Every structure is written in C-alpha cells, then in structure tokens.
Amino acid sequence: MIKRLFAFILLIFTSVMFYTIFSNTVQSTELKGVAKQYAARGADELGAQNLVTAIVVTYRGLDTLGEVAVLFLAATGVALLLRRRKEDEVLPLSEDKPKRQSSELLRTGANLLAPIMVMFGVYIFINGHLSPGGGFQGGAVIASAVLLLFLSDINYKINHTVFGLIESSSGVLYVVTGILGIFLAGGFLDNRILPLGELGSILSAGAIPVIYTLIGLKVGTELAGIIDNMRREN
Amino acid sequence: MNAVYVTGFALIIIGLWGMLTQKNMIKMILGLAVVETGVQLIMVAVGYIGGRTAPILDSAVPVKDAAEMIVDPVPQALVLTAIVIGVAVNALALTFVVKLYQKRRSLNITDYKDLKW
C-alpha cells in the first residue's frame, strides 16, 4: 500500500535524523550554567534536600503553576465533553448486559487497601522535598486508590461536593501562597515565607511542603474526577 | 548510557509507526503515549553524567561538594512536567474517541471523513 510506503520512508528519514543527533551528542562530564548554580546554591538558598523539588516548586515554580493549570483544563475538557445532555440520543449498545456486582472478597480487599494507598500517596507528597517523589506522584497514587475502588465496586460513587471543594480550595491556596511570596519574600512563589529549618528534617524548605501538599491534593482529586467522568459514560 | 538513547529513539520510531499505520483511534493514541515515553527517556539521558548520583543532598552527598557529585537536575524537573502534561493530553484525546464512538459506533479512523477533502 502506498500509504504504508510513505510511512516507512518517513520513518527511515526520522531514523537518519536521530542517528545524526545521536552520533553528535557529547555526554557532558560536569554541570554547566544554571544547573551548576542550582546545585551549588539550592540547598543553602531554599533548604530543600531534593534539588529536583527545589527546581520544580521554587526556581521554576511558574512552570509548575502552568502545568497545574493545563491539568485542570484537561480535566475540565473531559468533564465538559462527557457530560450527559438529555437531547443527546446515544446509539444503544446491542451487547449491553446488566452489570454484575463483584465478589465480596474483592470488594473487602479493595476497601482495605484503598486507605493504605491514600496514606502512601500522602507520604509521597509530604516527603517531596526530602526524597524522590512529590505532589504529582503522590496525587497519582491517590487517584489510583480511587480507581481501585471504582474497578472493584460497580456502585461506588465519589462525593462530588467534597472532591470539588478540595480541588478548588487547594488551587486557590496554591496561588495565595505564591502571592504571599511577593510580600513576605523575594518574589512570586518564593518558598522563604516560612522558616527554612534544618536541611533534611520534615519541617524544612519553607513553603515547599505546603505547596507540594496542595498540588498533591489537587492532582489527586483532578485525576479521580477524570476517571469518574470516563466511568460514568459506560 | 548509549543503550538508553537507543531505546528512547527506538520507542519514538515505534510510536510514530503506530500513529501512521494504525486505523484504530485508541491504538493511535497509544502510539502517541509510546512516543512520549521515548522523548522522556532521552531527556533524562541528556542530563546523565557518568559515575554521579541522584540530585538528593543526603548524608552521601555533602552540600559543598554537590556540584561535583550529582547529575543534572534540570532535565529531570522538565520530564516531571512532561509526564503530567502527557497524561492530561492522553486523557483528553481518549475522551474525544469516547465521544466519537458514541456518535458513530466505530473506532476506525477511515469512517470519519467529515473533515477530509
């Protein structure tokens, strides 16, 4: 087929391009430029043990705010596209069968596991400034707990009022924390509005744990909302 | 390190192949997800420096020697952003597929000719 041939030719050109890039890549042997500055000054300036977190939340905090906004837009888009209107006639599925409830064993196991998963997600985003992890990862773990409940119980429903409240209040508080940085510290999203504390302790790095907790709650509820919207469709 | 680059480039090419040749829209979106994975692998590999450790300043990495002991943290922070945006884009794309399937009961891209000229 001619289309397949074109695709094949395109991929060969792409491969050649990648090979050229690859053969011209020189693996760096030392940190340069901005990365060097971050590595040398990050711990003293921001008090965060995990430098990636220091970059994500403070040095490039505005990027992260934009990232949260994109995620929020996507979640809103999913909800908007999948909302049910009465005048929409949906073609009936011929293979529709009544849903069967899953076994007692599975539901009990899932109910037992879900709180532990939420707790682990909270652990991940509270320790974001100390160890690998952070708000986005912890939020994804929380959403996977909700997904487990959805998969194991066909009648499971999330409380939309509580989820919406958590999502919107954590988003607003994130921006408020950022604006506080303008008045109390060096600029928007500066984490030094709270004392930096001792490097490596849980209450350190100023506002970074606060911001990551808010991001974790927001991402968790948002992803759970996306899952809920997609599930209600079927 | 080269193995990571090669894996990343291979994933990009496999994903592109999937996006160009598959007719099933869900498979096309999965191709996009595979491309994203490849790009993220390469971005992390760019920041790698041989023999160094993760950018976490614990007892093994004293603060004053940090610049000589850790890999580049900036690409890792960028990949973190890229992963989250990738998830959001995939979810939105799959939602479009759900919506299209409700209208026409077909996942085949050739059944949708409304915008074709």
CB-nearest partner of B92 from A15, A74, A223: A74
Q: Which of B95, B104, B105 to mutate to test the interface with A (most CBs of A within 10 A)?
A: B95
pLDDT digits (tens, 9 = 90+) for A201-231: 777 777 888 888 899 999 999 888 888 888 7
pLDDT on residue B102 = 84
d(C-alpha A224, C-alpha A155), whole Å:
16
CA B2/CA B46 separation, integer angstroms:
10
Structure-token match 């909800």, residue found: A79
Contacts of B93 in chain A (CB under 8 A): none
- Which residues in chain B are closer than 8 Å to A222, comparing Cβ atoms? none
Q: What's the confidence (pLDDT) of residue A198?
A: 74
Task: Find chain B residues with C-beta within 8 A of A198's C-beta.
Answer: none
pLDDT at residue B14, as a whole number: 93
CA distance A208 to A220: 18
One digit per residue, the tens of pLDDT, for chain B of length 117 reads: 688 888 999 999 999 999 988 889 999 999 999 999 999 999 988 888 878 888 888 777 777 777 778 888 888 889 988 998 998 899 899 999 988 888 888 888 888 887 776
For chain B, the distance separating the N- and C-terminal CA atoms, rounded to the nearest angstrom, is 46
Taking only the tens place, the pLDDT of each residue in A99-151 is: 778 888 888 999 999 999 999 999 998 888 888 888 888 999 999 999 998 88
Cα(A50)–Cα(A195) distance, integer angstroms: 17
pLDDT at A53: 86
Interface mutation vs chain B, best among A38, A68, A71, most B CBs within 10 Å: A38
Secondary structure of chain A in the HEC alphabet? Answer: CHHHHHHHHHHHHHHHHHHHHHHHCCCCCCCCHHHHHHHHHHHHHHCCCEHHHHHHHHHCHHHHHHHHHHHHHHHHHHHHHHCCCCCCCCCCCCCCCCCCCCCHHHHHHHHHHHHHHHHHHHHHHHCCCCCCCCHHHHHHHHHHHHHHHHHHCCCCCCCHHHHHHHHHHHHHHHHHHHHHHHHHCCCCCCCCCCCCCCCCCCCCCCCHHHHHHHHHHHHHHHHHHHHHHHHHCC
Distance of CA B1 to CAs A58, B6, B71, B75, B82, Å?
Answer: 30, 9, 13, 15, 21
Topology classification of domain B2-111: Helix Hairpins (1.10.287)
Asked whether A158 and A182 are in contact (CB, 8 A), the reply is no
The structure's pTM equals 0.82
- Is the per-residue pLDDT at A91 higher than 70? no
A18-55 CB burial, b ≥16 within 10 A, e <16: beeeeeeeeeeeebeeebeebbbebbebbbbbbbbbbb
B51: DSSP letter = T
Closest to B85 measured CA to CA, from B10, B33, B47, B46: B33
The alpha carbon of residue B117 is apart from the nearest alpha carbon of chain A, in Å, by 17
**Interface membership of A204 toward B (CB under 8 Å):** no
pLDDT tens by residue, A6-29: 888 999 999 999 889 888 877 777
* Dihedrals phi, psi of B59, to nearest 5 degrees: -60, -25
- Name the 3-class secondary structure at B49: coil
Residues 6+ apart with CB under 8 A from A32: none
Q: Where are the domains of chain B?
A: 2-111
Phi and psi (nearest 5°) for A128?
A: -60, -30
Amino acid at A203: L
Contact A8, A160 (CB under 8 A): no
Query: Which residues of chain B lie closer than 8 angstroms to A91, CB-CB?
Result: 102-105
CB within 8 Å of B2: residues ≥ 6 apart: A22
CB of A27 closer than 8 Å to CB of B48 = yes
Residues of chain A found within 8 Å of residue B67, distances taken between Cβ atoms: 31, 36, 39-40
Average pLDDT of chain A to the nearest whole number: 83
Question: Which pLDDT does position A192 carry in this prediction?
Answer: 78
Q: Do B70 and A31 touch (CB under 8 A)?
A: yes
**Element spanning B101, H or E:** helix B73-104
Model pLDDT, residue B7: 92
